[in-house]
Chains A and B, each alone.
Chain A
Amino acid sequence: MTSYISLPMYAANIDQRLRIIAGKCTNCSIIVYPQRLVCKCCGGKNFDLTPLSGLGELYTFSVLHGGGAPSEFDYEQKMTGDVLCGIVDLFEGPRVMARLADIDSSQLKIGLKLEAVIRRLYDQEGILRYGVKFVPETL
């Protein structure tokens, strides 16, 4: 298997994935998520860790139909039909690609207010992988 998220790779970023912890550049204050080693904005290399609110707006999206998603999602796609994927403009600035959930695909539109939840993504090698999905804001 040439392409999959190995357990060590997944585990190395567990704080980012399950607690939505971003990096804040100590030099220019820009927030990066996923975290980076070098700042996108100023090239700085030092970051303070900062948790994100998980709130944001849908920037773009796609509904992947049968055969569209990577094969590790086959089981889910068989159960649910479609895989909903989007890019979310987070309240604190960064933009992130993630799964969308708890919404009918016909309700998706750019600008939709969303919030992050931690959900099961798929299981591989007998280990469940969890991560961020975005659902309609409940407020």
Chain B
Amino acid sequence: MIDVAVIGVGQTRYGMFPGRTLKDLFYEASREALDDVDKGLDPNDIDEAFVGTLSTGGAQLGNFAPLMMEAAGMVGVGARHVENACASSGFAMRDAVSAISSGSADIAVAAGVEKMSDLPRERNRLWLGISGDVEWERLAGTNFAGIYAMMARRHMFEYGTKISHIKMVAVKNRQNALENPKAQFRSAFTMEQATKSPNLASPLDFSDACGITDGASMVILARADLARSFTDQPVLVVGSGVGSDYVAIHDRTSLTKLQGAVDASVKAYEMAGIRPEDIDFAEVHDCFAIAELLSYEDLGFCDRGKSGIYLESGITQRDGKRPINNSGGLIAKGHPIGSTGTGQICEVVNQLRGRADTSARQLANVGYGLTHNVGGSGAAVAVHIFKAME
């Protein structure tokens, strides 16, 4: 297999931008990614593009990827839309990596975009339930808030995880986002505020969930042996793994782990030739606060059932031994569904290159960085591991 390196990344600010269009957001991310390729890249040299999006509110379902690439001035690049709900661009990344490692492309693009603010609130709520096993989960009256809530309650029941552990995730990530100029929610958030947040789907409160977000992101990849002709700071994709599971959570044996995440991470660690303890920092899929706790266990950072205690120890804080969601995560940086996977990669790559947007956010110890991108409640998961090229 041919080694693959990231040569440039770009991401828009995340937020609600009613006046901006999909094309406009995608263009901005592509512009930033191209500018990030220090020694320059002619868009005509890009062989393939993989663009993740859920459905952009149903606005543009056909030929979506060519339309976005055209808007970015990259017309002619073989492009396709990749859809796996909230893991759409994590899988777009996987496909772009495979295109290069298999030898069929020298340069490939993985990108993601979502425009959620176009829709009235009711239609968003109608739309956001579509990534489950709709035929059964939907008639049970729930969407993902209720589904993650039921997983949270089971975790509390089986392992004694406390509400305060769940809230600590939200507080940590919102605090982290304060320093991130690209984050959607940048206001101080304390445990006291978290405990006063109105209930959404018990045991989860509104502050344990993410909001409605617009945004786009792009990652440009090249064969590792060509990477230095584009940048002095390439970042190697040392691990890539994907996994899937039953879509409806009632069909799974356990509700307190995402088997797809376990499988994806095992494959990524194996490819990288490393173990969970070798990961120095990670961006994980905290669509609801409980999901970050599950990720600690699924990725092997701590023992099964111990994520609450692990978080409490401070290890995953910005100044801890293994910072998690230094960007603010989905909860605070924002979760424009299709953009989330490649957006996480932008953060990890910038950290590995020592290019965090503010010095307060630059992590000191960045050997291996990991991204964990989950579709729905775990039906599809993509895990990637990165390391600066020596």
Contact = CB atoms under 8 A, between A and B. Distances in A.
Bin the interface of chain B by size: 35 or more
B99 interface: no
Given A96-B250, A97-B248, A110-B153, A70 B126 contact: yes
Interface stretch (B9-17, B194-202, B220-228): B194-202
A65 B151 CA distance: 17
Contacts of A65: 198-202
Contacts of B355: none
Interface stretch (A22-30, A46-54, A71-79): A71-79
Interface in A4-47: 4-5, 9, 13, 17, 34, 40
B72 interface: no
Secondary structure type dominating chain B contacts: helix
B127 A5 contact: no
Contacts of A69: 141-143, 146
A85 B255 contact: no
A27 B254 CA distance: 24
The interface centre, meaning the residue of B125, B140, B143, B202 with most chain A CB atoms within 10 A of its CB, is: B140
Given A3-B130, A62-B203, A110-B157, 15 more contacts: A2-B126, A3-B127, A62-B146, A62-B201, A64-B141, A64-B146, A65-B199, A65-B202, A69-B141, A85-B146, A87-B249, A97-B142, A110-B153, A110-B154, A131-B139
Lowest 5 CB-CB distances: which A-B pairs, in order? A3-B130, A62-B149, A97-B140, A60-B150, A63-B202
A86 B150 contact: yes
A126 B219 CA distance: 47
Interface residues of A, number: 41
B159 interface: no
B390 interface: no
A62 B140 contact: no
B154 to A, nearest CB: 5
A81 B204 CA distance: 17
Contacts of B203: 62
Contacts of A34: 135-136
Contacts of B130: 2-3
Interface in B115-174: 121-123, 125-127, 129-130, 134-143, 145-146, 149-151, 153-154, 157
B58 interface: yes
A3 B134 contact: yes
11 contacts: A1-B126, A5-B139, A9-B135, A40-B251, A64-B201, A65-B198, A68-B145, A69-B143, A71-B125, A71-B126, A97-B249
A121 interface: yes
Given A85-B140, A85-B150, A63 B126 contact: no
Interface string A103-130: 0010000100000000001000000010
